A and B are shown apart, each in its own frame.
Chain A
């Protein structure tokens, strides 16, 4: 099977009658066109099978996925429904499929390979795997992606079918730049085609694809129409290349040198290879016999890598006259309009099309102001920025409890052979028994001890950190050492994989300055947590409401039957000065002079926390040491039953101002 399937020759088609084609440059001045071209390249060359879109508006995930499916399927056949991977996918779902049917001899079971392992000897369009949020993909999904993306070969060894194939599935993943720290670099590195989709609009496409049809045939026309609209500026030969593949053209040394220049000395080999493969595919799409340095430039512009003005006298430059070089770098969509007049690739905008965010992450969690700054705008490699906290071993299997009462709590993440009768996975057990029925030859359906399987459960968070942050105790300028003071608590939360609840009081940008704000994070690595440590101070301090929220949170956690935390820390960072009475927080109105009622209400609310289960709850108050009223944190700590941490001289703290 060493032969390669016949591929169409490099495009003999005459170039399209547009300015872009005449210059030999790809239409890179429009995000939608860039996306379309990137999808064509990923479809045409299996080595570019992974596409990662950064900061794509969540509403566009479905249209883009269906568009990619349509590109892969071509005009002649309907697109295959994509396989969507998310937070709950398990190995059992990904690699094999069990078909259970009733028959004259009772239940029959057939285990088949799953769609991920479809090899390149299969017919038809390659399958499409869609990951709507890469940062939330399950560990099993991430591990599958690492094994499959760009792999020469993948081996499947799970009960039933054994397979060794060259995978041909294409992947479309979406991730916010702010979340890349939560994704393994090992995994990010496997996506060959990466581009920022912030500010992407698909005029017409969203409307055309927004109504999923009930059957496979319905909506096909809409997709085709939408695709025609999106690819109006692209020649038909490119679309046929996407369907049938394209023969690689030689890559000149100048292209290699240029690609390495563009990516810099610290880029990994995979990144360089991806850019060169993209350049090679672009050259073939343009009908050129080989890839030159210009193609490396074009590939870099396509994915958003900054392209400095090239040095004169570069070897292997394309003999065709090039169009004016676009301004280097900048976010996608801001490059100067370079299409020649008369080109029909201009996308029409519809009335009512809402522009999406041009900057910042798309909607979703973690958009709180003050979050860690994301990478350079439009960069396809946001993980190169040092800002994001990252999990130490994101690809390691989830920790699981195998002993004690907690082993029967938490989310089911798989099954394993049972060693006792607790937490039996009934469906898996019956499926296992069904396989053996005919061999056992019993009259009735029999479940033997060896059929028993129990659930494997992810360890439920057994520890919780509740942070109550009073932003007004920092004098309005930020004292810069708050992260250092809190470091021991944050480290504890990280090492124990604690869940985090952050309650904020007195932020300048609070939604309601009379009320405390709150958010829940899965771990301290959530970018909102470091963001909350550095917020600017506002004027109002609804400390009493913050303490009340903390009390509610802790009570809810500690009362949770069966899955409550074994240990919880409440850390209160405040100078104790509240100027919003609890009633004002509740009603939104002041009912007279405040005086000391804001402080008194906070102390009263603290007493409720002091009366809670102290075998599981520990409380600390961080005293910023502000005068006058320097004793207020101690009063609050006394009611909370808390230890007091001196926040003025944190060990090793440096006023970095970060």
Chain B
């Protein structure tokens, strides 16, 4: 990637204020990539994009592979290196989907504004796991797997149900209280001021905290295969999906994977009902009929009440 952007310009992940659910979803996805992606919805100015970029810098040391809403299809599926082609050298140029498969993540900012024909391409590849390119003299087929991470402001419109279902987890940005908001403003202004300093203790401390988080995630990734998932959890998961009328079976599969990732993050040997209950809203909220056919993603007290007795000891 040309023009690599240095990390310190993005607020360090460890210094992003609040938004614990968003952070948890990204961390779970990092521990178990098979979760298949994270969709973050929330009003403007809730640090959704900042959080994704900060997470990628913390976890991978570089910005995520980004699909901008005005990308051309040749850049998505791949094509020829244009400059080389003009010089008479036919040199294939991998597309963003291949890059994403290498890194495990494709980030789409303002995903609900993505043009339909790009959505179709992503859905085809995500559904079949195969990127088949038959155009411009190219003839390739590759097996690809990547997680989609998208951010969106529901004010600007919803997502097609097929694309919605491709996101393993969905989280909504929380509204901050006065104390957290003050802390957020304080943090952002301090960060911008510290950027101008040669040896900033503030930035060094943030980088150390980021490194600790990265180590914690790496350890959880190693540990997750050893985390036991009792049958009771699978049964609970199926019943929760039934109670919330979740469309399809992807919700309960993702819920089990995410609960296992949470257990690994908490250094537990087995998944407990508590782990499952914590991640159920993320796994099921966008698969309820009202979310599939509308734009309401809120996990209401009614939804919680429907699951209440399942988790009562």
Contact = CB atoms under 8 A, between A and B. Distances in A.
Interface of A: 1-2, 4, 7, 47, 91, 94-95, 108-111, 119, 121, 140, 143-144, 146-147, 152-166, 184-186, 189, 247-251, 253, 256-257, 259-260, 265, 268-273, 276-277, 280, 392-397, 416-417, 435-436, 438-439, 441, 450
Nearest to B46: A269
17 contacts: A108-B86, A121-B3, A143-B70, A152-B5, A152-B9, A155-B66, A155-B68, A157-B72, A157-B75, A161-B2, A162-B2, A164-B2, A166-B5, A186-B153, A268-B44, A273-B185, A395-B157
Contacts of A257: 182
In the complex, which of the residues B50, B68, B135, B195 has the most CB atoms of chain A within 10 Å of its own CB atom? B68
A321 B294 CA distance: 58
Given A157-B75, A270-B45, A393 B195 contact: no
Interface in B37-68: 43-47, 50, 53, 63, 66-68
Interface in B245-286: none
Interface stretch (B109-117, B141-149, B223-231): B109-117
B73 interface: yes
Nearest to A450: B136
Contact of B156 (A158, A184, A249, A265): A184
A441 B137 CA distance: 14
Contacts of B156: 184, 186, 393-396
Interface residues of B, number: 67
Given A166-B5, A435-B86, A157 B68 contact: yes
Interface in B165-179: 176, 178
Interface stretch (B22-30, B87-95, B213-221): B87-95
Interface stretch (B124-132, B186-194, B233-241, B299-307): B186-194
A165 B110 contact: no
A250 B10 contact: no
A280 B70 contact: no
Interface of B: 1-10, 43-47, 50, 53, 63, 66-76, 79, 82-83, 85-90, 96, 109-110, 112-113, 115-117, 135-137, 153, 155-157, 176, 178, 181-182, 184-186, 188-190, 192-193, 195-196
Closest 8 CB pairs between A and B?
A: A438-B88, A393-B157, A270-B45, A157-B75, A157-B71, A155-B66, A269-B45, A2-B6
A277 B193 CA distance: 11
A269 B185 contact: yes
A575 to B, nearest CB: 42
Nearest to B182: A256
B189 A251 contact: yes
A158 B237 CA distance: 43
A441 B79 CA distance: 19
Contacts of B181: 260, 269, 272
Contacts of A260: 178, 181-182, 185
Contacts of B1: 162, 164
Given A121-B3, A143-B70, A158-B70, 10 more contacts: A4-B195, A144-B70, A147-B110, A157-B76, A164-B66, A186-B156, A251-B193, A265-B178, A269-B46, A417-B135
